[in-house]
Structure 1
Amino acid sequence: MSKVSIERITKIVRLIRRHGAVPMDTFLTELEVSKASVKRDLDFLRDRLGCPLDWDRSQRGWVIRDELADGGQFELPGVWFNSSEVFALLTMLHLVEGVQPGLLDEHVGPLKSRFRGLLAEGTKSAKPIERKLKLIHFAPRKVESKHFQLIAGALLDSKRLHLRYLNRDRKEHTERTISPQQLVHYRENWMLDAWCHTRNALRSFALEAVADVRVVDEPAQEVSQDEMQEHFRSGYGIFAGQATHRARLKFTPERAQWVSKETWHHDQSSELLEDGSYILEIPYSNDQELLMDLLRHSPEVEILEPPELRQRLHAALCAAASKNLPAAVQ
């Protein structure tokens, strides 16, 4: 638009929509440009974009005569953003791109280029985004890009999928037909929640364990949001299922400084004791992931309840200590 700013054009329309009639003084104050620039923007709106702008003598301000517009109301063509909105979108795209570098380059790259072009006509530069946002990844597992694209496409198109899937516990591949429900990015890794027609139940699939996938030309079976939430939200972490246990944990005052700021479960309860210790109660169904988190916090955490979880942590710590005996002891 050369001397005409996309951001100013958008702001002029928004000001008129908000106030009904806008005098020149308000435009000058809000847009912080010269009177000549405002007049140029108003001319562009009226002559190039077909906006039915008019000076209303009774209201002493510029108005939009929607009754003269095609369809009964004037709208800016296409999708228009001001520079702050474009900057926010670029920031989000940078974060999405950083979830797993390379996985979405084919789609995110062109979008970033287009948004940079929009910003180039404003006053802000897109270049600082990459320098001012840093994502540090830890232990993400590689997902095949072609698998991700097929799965995401089937999810959006509500199509079934046929998977060849690695069961790592049994070290064998199984064939599954599934109806994908939602993609989940959890602790640096991608999961797919789906209705498994082989097991006739909801299941979660780790995308890096998908050996092969193809789209089945049948409509996916939809599972209600209520059923999805009931199945996946009650358990701890990625392990779904009805929570049948509740752990009561006590963290030392030193570790409480961090853990007390964290949310481990949406249905947790907690208490900060006078000595600075922190009591955390969380529900769980499968203790596998919970044990991994407790090992990470050991020896700064004590399991108060239930006794079977305490025994499991003790056994894991003893096994770890046995494997890591100092050379002199061995």
Structure 2
Amino acid sequence: MSDMERLHRIKYMIQQRKCVSREDFLSELEISPATFKRDLEYLRSRMQASIVYDRFMGGYKFENSDAEERIEMPGLWFSEKEATALVLMQHLLSSLDQGGLIGPHIEPLTAIIDGILGQSETSAKELRKRIKVIGMGSRKNSIENFSEIGAALLKRNRLEITYYSKGKDENTDREISPQRLIYYRENWYLDAYCHMRNDLRSFAVDGIRKATLSNKKAEEVSDKQCQEHFAESYGIFSGKATQRAKLRFTPEHARWVSGEHWHGQQVGSFDKEGFFNLEFDYNQDPELVMDILKHGSGVEVIGPASLKKRIKDELKNAMENYSKD
């Protein structure tokens, strides 16, 4: 950490927490008492920071409540447009984090952004009030498990997990080698090498009931292997593609679908009548079936025959639910 980064950090620690003990500064900044004393003197004399020691609270704070807004720190400058983009980025991250996994870690960033925009005509708080992100399908995750997963990814160690499969309604104990975390459709998934199946698998993080970091080194899988294994299939389901979907959307639905990303290797084209034809390879079809059904009569499955039958059966079963009235 550079000297200037450390000075910024001291300022923002006080700004965020209001009062910070000497021990917290030394521990978190990993500096000596002498270095902290010099930094404090620099902030007071060169930056006109009214930082005082409060004996009652047992820490350092700003003498004036609005002092943090008046301190001009060199080395970090943003135009109003850039600062506004920072607010949007932070707010989107916070709003997408419905499970509360990264919220605590974003709070310091919020304090920093508010400090940057403190004297701006555009208030960060005002911007946040006028931006709303609605999460429809997010599921609650365990912060403890998420932390263990993060540690395993960074240390490149294996995880011992108890995993609940919603499809099979069963728990299994597994040893896995985490490869990467995926944020997909407002939920977290972990791509990993499963030592029980001896193959790559994708695990929903909210299905990991228990996670314990192992001392064993993780089995390394190249980015190319992961891409080949996961990219060919549809959605979150992994495996080498074995079938090719061919869908035909009505001109009305084509206005939306033609601009959507369904698959990394999709091929789309309009015909003379204005219908939109979409093709891509896939392996398993649970997600694909759901995405097709949400378009109702606005889409027709041209192929393969097995997918067409799945859709017809689902529509037939749905109609039977309403024929009972």
Q: Deviations over 1:235-291 (max 9, x none)?
A: 111111111111111111121111111121121111212222111111111122111
Q: Tell whether 2:149 aligns with 1:146.
A: no
| Offset of residue 169 of structure 1 | 2.9
| Offset of residue 210 of structure 1 | 1.1
Give 3-state SS (helix, strand or coil) of 1:299's partner: helix
Q: Deviations over 1:151-202 (max 9, x none)?
A: 1232223222111111223322111111111111111111111111222211
Partner AA of 1:100 in structure 2 = D
| Offset of residue 116 of structure 1 | 1.3
Equivalent residue for 1:87, pick from 84, 88, 98: 84
Give 3-state SS (helix, strand or coil) of 1:182's partner: strand
List aligned pairs for 1:181-196, cutoff 5 A.
Answer: 181-196=179-194
Q: Which residue in the other structure is 1:100 paired with?
A: 97
Equivalent residue for 1:308, pick from 303, 306, 309: 306
CA shift in 2, pair 1:48/1:122, >3 Å: farther
Give 3-state SS (helix, strand or coil) of 2:261's partner: coil
Distance 2:313 2:194 in 1: 34
| Offset of residue 232 of structure 1 | 0.6
Q: Deviations over 1:36-79 (max 9, x none)?
A: xxxxxxxxxxx969xxxxxxxxxxxxxxxxxxxxxxxxxxx996
Equivalent residue for 2:113, pick from 112, 115, 138: 115
Q: How many residues align?
A: 255
Larger CA Rg, structure 1 vs 2: 1
Partner AA of 2:155 in structure 1 = D
| Offset of residue 115 of structure 1 | 2.3
Equivalent residue for 1:218, pick from 201, 216, 228: 216
Distance 1:266 1:169 in 2: 25
CA shift in 2, pair 1:237/1:96, >3 Å: same
TM-score, normalised to structure 1, is 0.72
Distance 1:288 1:311 in 2: 13
Give 3-state SS (helix, strand or coil) of 2:188's partner: strand
Distance 1:283 1:306 in 2: 11
Give 3-state SS (helix, strand or coil) of 1:324's partner: helix
TM-score, normalised to structure 2, is 0.73
Distance 1:93 1:153 in 2: 23
Q: Which residue in the other structure is 1:235 paired with?
A: 233
Distance 1:180 1:134 in 2: 33
Give 3-state SS (helix, strand or coil) of 1:127's partner: helix
Distance 1:135 1:168 in 2: 27
| Offset of residue 217 of structure 1 | 2.2
Spell out structure 1 runs of 4+ moving beyond 6 A.
none
Q: Which residue in the other structure is 2:159 paired with?
A: 161
Q: Deviations over 1:9-33 (max 9, x none)?
A: xxxxxxxxxxxxxxxxxxxxxxxxx
Equivalent residue for 1:125, pick from 123, 130, 155: 123
Partner AA of 2:88 in structure 1 = T
| Offset of residue 91 of structure 1 | 2.2
| Offset of residue 128 of structure 1 | 2.6
CA shift in 2, pair 1:326/1:78, >3 Å: farther
Q: Which residue in the other structure is 1:250 paired with?
A: 248
Distance 1:326 1:301 in 2: 27
Distance 1:94 1:187 in 2: 18
Q: Deviations over 1:98-124 (max 9, x none)?
A: 112322221111221122113225554
Distance 2:151 2:165 in 1: 24
CA shift in 2, pair 1:164/1:297, >3 Å: same
Q: Tell whether 2:207 aligns with 1:209.
A: yes
Partner AA of 2:254 in structure 1 = A
Give 3-state SS (helix, strand or coil) of 1:94's partner: helix
CA shift in 2, pair 1:279/1:142, >3 Å: same
Distance 1:99 1:309 in 2: 33
Q: Which residue in the other structure is 1:54 paired with?
A: none
Distance 1:99 1:156 in 2: 23
Q: 2:87·2:128 contact (CA, 8 Å) conserved in 1?
A: no
Q: 2:271·2:277 contact (CA, 8 Å) conserved in 1?
A: yes
Give 3-state SS (helix, strand or coil) of 1:282's partner: strand
CA shift in 2, pair 1:157/1:88, >3 Å: farther
CA RMSD of aligned residues (A): 2.2
Listed as ranges, the gaps of 5+ residues in structure 2 are 1-7, 9-44, 48-72
Q: 2:268·2:276 contact (CA, 8 Å) conserved in 1?
A: yes
CA shift in 2, pair 1:235/1:90, >3 Å: same
